A and B are shown apart, each in its own frame.
Chain A
């Protein structure tokens, strides 16, 4: 089966979700671009958008319309060429509307599984629940006579486990998009020992067409991305617990969040990132990893207790941040959850005091935004960390510990054979997490 044939009938499971909708968008556009090639004009292309929620599917259509329009506006120069034989499409607006329609018309929204029994490629982006995934995949493979290939977006469950439990005969691989899929350039590709070669070859071609940067991760729970992130977050939590033994909890959260952002020149603090992903999702991923990796305790009672209190984070349908461990106004943290009082304390009440305790940032410091795309990034970072390492402040000490720990986690991923090499870990953090430098670096011991 050729690349094009494989993409003629596709299903995205969980298409109404944050990840599923992005995967559907990118795949539907790739399929549409193929359908518009002269040699494919007699072929049919269908992508089933499957979700349990009608409401989510309705939201998906709004999302698609907006996103495809934006994409078409960006590639109008090329689309004018694509539609050059359509004498009825004259202005850019005609062409953009036609392209949006051509993408939308291959999408079939449904809350039922039956349509995907005809699919040859199935993306799975449902809840990160191994049992649920196995149940759905088993049901499909039992009814689909086309020997479909499965691309799972799991960020933690080993692929061989899904393969064996759902009896997929090696027709599955992990294609882990980063959030949001339409924007993030990175995808982690995870194959098990039994994953068929053709599946991997197709995945690489598909990734290339979508212009994604691929990093191969070995088939170990959590893979590289969450392998680093979950341990990084747990370290942040342990630092909060350590600091709050002698002081207030909210102040400790503030300090660690600030250190992990400003002192380490990362795009957001560690607890903002936990909120972005969702406390519940983090906790779930940890439990998946913990039950499969015997040597470490990947668990946080603090997260569990917060989730019980309804503090979960995540995002609203429009992509804006829900309150989690931090409270947000216009996307910026303004408060921190106090578990004892079960309400948020305003950061402004203690910010000045905490900033004083942390001490000043190195003089050479620039905010992450000014560093990330800066041609002089290396020098800026080198000056920043040189100065930071020579400072005797609490902030410098916490940042040093944090950077060292992050580096240790990253190196361990290579030692444990999760990542093939150090560069892969750095690429994941640089590309998938937008860090301005890789965790394996010269800045920390």
Chain B
């Protein structure tokens, strides 16, 4: 469905993604809490748009603060950011790792519904409060609880390991593992260019060889190793979603904004396994809807921020978006087409594997990255956006391809 009103995003901000890999991270030292991240990101965006007084409504995307941080009722944090947000409407949305994407579409819909001209949108997750083995329990909530007992200790790595196994079997293990290692290398190389990225400090030279390490099923999962996994991250991102009137109110020109020209949302039954383990069908559906809504095709894109919670999800993502036929995503990636100077740059600041994956915050982080790239604010990570291709696509996935949000952005 074509959007009936012009919608923009602007004034994005990412905190650093804190966790293993960052020099300042030490598992035994105390760290900032979720309130710190909400405040840092929210305030940075408010500072760029003239403060809380210019905001009509607030949305926060988060997955599991109730368990990671023993904190629910997150809308309550908005007035903490800025006293002018007191008495304003605020809402929290949740759809596992797509919570950030859902927060964005919630904001978009408010502007479309004309109940708001300026929406402050935040995505946040603070996950390093527990060790990975307990974090796996919490994150398993993105799947169906009926499967938890029979599921793997590392539930989601287990799910995507099964997908990788099916993909290996159908299309060949060696070429697929090589593609996963290449995906990892791209992610780290891009993250090294982004000072907020969790792998910013990564200095390892031969990334691909390292990433080809054989999986160890006794300690982890059958078909993936630790380099195939996204990071455990503490981070928040914020962005303002505004109408044309809203842009005027916050005194930001279109040059400093991106236009949202379409989006697609799709949902799959959480109690049912995927029909085909080698495909991300919900992603395919959401992306198709987004393209239809935007009136463009994949060939118009200058960049993609995709949901590479695991390297295999990145490879399958290239197929779901339509850059490669089923089974050829591995070749597409291994041949370097998704690097920052390849045919279609993917995850230009590292994605979930390189930048980090603050689960409920990731969708907003993707939007901020695309806003930075399309408006020329990406610093060392800046890629060239061709004039004839002023578009970006974000794909944010919750659970095992269950809840998906795809958004198409255009230079403002």
Residues of A within 8 A of B (CB): 73-74, 76-80, 87, 90-93, 96
Cβ contacts under 8 Å, A91 to chain B: 137, 140, 148
Residues on the B chain within 8 Å of A87, using CB: 149
Please indicate the chain B residues that have their CB under 8 angstroms from the CB of A77 in the complex.
Answer: 152-154, 217-220
B-side interface residues toward A, CB under 8 Å? 131, 133-134, 136-137, 140, 148-149, 152-154, 217-220
The 8 Å CB contact of A96, one of B133, B218, B219, is B133
Chain A residues contacting B148 (CB-CB under 8 Å) are: 90-91
CA distance A78 to B136 in the complex (A): 15
CB distance from A49 to the nearest CB of B (A): 27
- A92 contacts which of B153, B218, B220 (Cβ < 8 Å)? B153
- Residues of B within 8 Å of A74, CB to CB, are 219
Q: Are A73 and B137 interface neighbours, CB within 8 A? A: no
Instruction: Give the residue among A78, A92, A96 with the most B Cβ atoms within 10 A.
Output: A92
Q: Are B149 and A90 in contact (CB under 8 A)?
A: yes
Please give, as numbers and ranges, the residues of chain A lying within 8 Å of B140 by CB-CB distance: 91
**In the bound complex, what is the Cα–Cα distance between A91 and B140 (angstroms)?**
9
Instruction: Tell me, in angstroms, the Cα distance from A272 to B148 when the chains sit together.
Output: 49
A90–B141 alpha-carbon span in the complex (Å) = 12
Cβ contacts under 8 Å, B134 to chain A:
92-93
Closest residue on chain A to residue B137 by CB atoms = A91
Verify A73–B133 contact, CB threshold 8 A.
yes
Bound-complex Cα distance A92 to B151 (A): 10
- How far, in whole Å, are A93 and B130 apart by their CA atoms in the complex? 11
In the complex, A96→B381 CA distance in Å?
43
The winner among B133, B152, B217 for most chain A CB atoms within 10 A is B133
Give bound CA distance, A80 to B153, whole Å: 7
- A186 CA / B124 CA spacing, docked (Å): 47
CB contacts (< 8 Å) of A90 on chain B: these are 148-149
| Inter-chain contact A78/B218, CB cutoff 8 Å | yes
Pair A92/B137 contact, Cβ less than 8 Å: yes
Q: What are the 3 tightest A-B residue pairs by CB atom distance, in nearest-first order?
A: A91-B137, A76-B153, A77-B153
Q: Which residue of A lies closest to B136 (CB)?
A: A92
Chain A nearest CB, measured from B150 CB (Å):
8
**Contact status B137-A93, CB under 8 Å:** yes
Chain B: minimal CB distance from A320 (Å): 15
Q: Which residues of A contact B218 (CB under 8 A)?
A: 77-78
Chain B residue at minimum C-beta to C-beta distance from A73: B133
For A93, what are the chain B residues with a Cβ–Cβ distance below 8 Å?
134, 137
Q: A91-B140, A92-B136 are in contact. Are A73 and B131 (CB under 8 A)?
A: yes
List of A residues within 8 angstroms of B133 by Cβ: 73, 76, 92, 96
Residues from chain B with Cβ under 8 Å of A78 in the complex:
218
- A77–B151 Cα distance when bound, in Å, is 10
Q: How far is the CA of A80 from the CA of B149 in the complex (A)?
A: 9
Q: Give the CA-CA distance A73 to B135 in the complex, in Å.
A: 12
Closest to A95 in B: B153
Q: CA of A78 to CA of B218 in the docked complex: distance in angstroms? A: 7
Pick the most buried of A78, A91, A96: most chain B CB atoms within 10 A of its CB. A91
Smallest beta-carbon distance A153→chain B, Å:
30
CA distance A129 to B386 in the complex (A): 82
**List of A residues within 8 angstroms of B217 by Cβ:** 77
